[in-house]
């Protein structure tokens, strides 16, 4: 076992649990500190999709899309995070089952972004052709006739769509499975609310709890999602975060519904357990407070949008309306994580601000952070990525 036994990870969401899991694979024990329970917030309520990574490059060019990024920014600078999860998820799912005893309902299926207008068709054909020319060969155009063979009752105004592979997990089971596998490898999960740090010079010596107790720490990871700005502020370095409230619906789907995700204004994502997740693809509902109440307006929007695309879903039963706060990059909000050492502090790291891509980014973020923590410095192969996502750039 490594001597690094006191890595304290604040946050029991998917990013924190992935870091603990990947540290455990290196023989490094950690403690996950969570004020509620593992996967209690957004990580346990997400859609659970691992889309073909170059789709982020397509989405960032489309204004109003969840993946849109402002001029001068591009996910190309950290696409390796998404590739890591995309290629490793089958192995991780098996590992979680063998070590942690959790079936995370992993599946591999297809994803199609459908279009309704000639302009959209030309745009996505052009973008997919460009990406194919760059070596990303997972895309193909599916004509409307092929979509109707798979979905006979799909909206007749659909012109076709761009198709690519997709992987899925059940997000709560995935997050909990990472934590359980980490525990089997020596990690500890502790319930408690962090309220500050004990420090000496430029080092953190402990994490202070609301109960008055302190946890000694050799190294600390702030993986508190939307609350990471608050956590970093205890060290005089508030990471700027834009809050978003993201909601989705879980339906009991029709029998033999195809395991094929349809991406329109509402994403329709069938699961291996027979459920269907409905999620929104429009730009986020930005917030200035931590109010996480669900909206009947969003529920209606999701149902109406899904039934417009797939009238067969009219008889589907709503099982759960769920959602929670996400942490985005601010002004205008977009997907640019913060990953790496917190400047001014020798033994503090930050992993946050993954927006709506936390599940997909979690295997890569966990692996890269574990490599950084274990080695004590940024691995050469990841220097560009960590430089681009550095907390120093965000402050």
Write the pLDDT tens digit of every residue in 383-394: 999 999 999 999
For range 154-159, the mean pLDDT: 96
How far is the C-alpha of 133 from the C-alpha of 266, rounded, in Å?
29
How far is the C-alpha of 111 from the C-alpha of 53, rounded, in Å?
12
For range 231-239, the mean pLDDT: 98
Flag whether pLDDT at 292 surpasses 80.
yes
Which range (3-7, 31-35, 311-315) has the least confidence? 3-7
For the segment 310-356, what is each residue's pLDDT rounded down to a tens digit?
999 988 999 999 999 999 998 777 889 999 999 999 999 999 999 99
Give me the sign of the Cα torsion angle 94, 99, 100, 102.
Answer: positive
Provide the angle, in degrees to the nearest 10, between the axes of the packed helices 14-25 and 358-375. Answer: 40
For the segment 190-208, what is each residue's pLDDT rounded down to a tens digit?
999 999 999 999 999 999 9
Q: What is the pTM of this model?
A: 0.96
pLDDT interval class at 127 (50, 70, 90): confident
pLDDT interval class at 3 (50, 70, 90): very low
For range 14-43, the mean pLDDT: 97
Which range (130-139, 154-163, 297-306, 344-353) has the least confidence? 130-139
What is the structure's pLDDT at 288? Answer: 86
Closest CA to 373 of 218, 205, 223: 218
Q: By the 8 A CB rule, do 68 and 199 touch?
A: no
pLDDT interval class at 282 (50, 70, 90): confident
Identify the residue with better confidence: 64 or 230: 230
29 CB contacts (<8 Å, ≥6 apart)? 1, 2, 4, 5, 7, 23, 185, 186, 187, 188
State the number of CA atoms in the 13 A half-sphere of 196 facing the CB.
7
For range 299-319, the mean pLDDT: 95
How far is the C-alpha of 72 from the C-alpha of 62, rounded, in Å?
14
pLDDT interval class at 4 (50, 70, 90): very low
Residue 327: φ, ψ to 5°: -110, 120
- Cβ atoms < 10 Å from Cβ of 201: 7
What is the structure's pLDDT at 70? Answer: 84
């Amino acid at each position: 076992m490594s001597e690094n036994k006191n890595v304290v990870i604040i946050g029991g969401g998917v990013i924190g649990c992935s870091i603990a899991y990947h540290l455990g694979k290196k023989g490094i024990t950690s403690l996950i500190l969570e004020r509620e329970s593992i996967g209690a917030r957004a990580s346990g309520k997400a859609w659970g999709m691992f889309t073909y990574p170059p789709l982020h490059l397509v989405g960032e060019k489309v204004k109003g899309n969840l993946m849109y990024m402002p001029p001068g920014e591009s996910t190309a600078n950290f696409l390796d995070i998404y590739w890591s999860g995309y290629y490793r998820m089958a192995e991780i799912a098996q590992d979680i089952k063998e070590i942690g005893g959790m079936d995370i309902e992993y599946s591999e299926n297809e994803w199609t972004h459908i279009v309704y207008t000639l302009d959209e068709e030309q745009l996505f054909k052009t973008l997919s052709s460009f990406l194919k020319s760059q070596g990303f060969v997972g895309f193909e155009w599916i004509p409307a006739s092929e979509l109707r063979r798979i979905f006979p009752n799909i909206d007749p105004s659909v012109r076709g769509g761009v198709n690519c592979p997709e992987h899925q997990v059940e997000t709560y089971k995935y997050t909990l499975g990472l934590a359980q596998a980490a525990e089997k490898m020596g990690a500890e999960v502790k319930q408690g609310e962090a309220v500050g740090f004990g420090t000496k010079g430029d080092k953190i010596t402990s994490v202070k709890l609301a109960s008055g107790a302190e946890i000694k720490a050799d190294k600390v990871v702030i993986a508190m999602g939307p609350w990471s700005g608050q956590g970093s502020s205890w060290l005089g370095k508030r990471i700027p975060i834009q809050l978003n409230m993201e909601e989705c619906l879980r339906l009991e789907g029709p029998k033999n519904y195809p395991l094929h995700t349809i991406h329109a204004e509402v994403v329709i994502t069938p699961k291996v357990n027979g459920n269907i997740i409905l999620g929104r693809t429009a730009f986020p509902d930005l917030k200035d407070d931590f109010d996480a109440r669900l909206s009947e307006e969003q529920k209606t929007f999701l149902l109406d949008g899904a039934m417009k695309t797939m009238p067969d879903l009219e008889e589907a039963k709503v099982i759960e309306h769920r959602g929670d706060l996400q942490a985005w990059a601010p002004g205008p909000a977009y997907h640019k994580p913060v990953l790496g050492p917190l400047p001014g502090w020798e033994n503090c790291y930050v992993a946050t601000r993954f927006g709506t891509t936390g599940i997909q980014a979690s295997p890569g973020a966990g692996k890269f952070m574990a490599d950084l923590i274990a080695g004590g410095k940024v691995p050469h192969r990841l220097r560009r990525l960590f430089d681009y996502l550095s907390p120093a750039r965000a402050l």
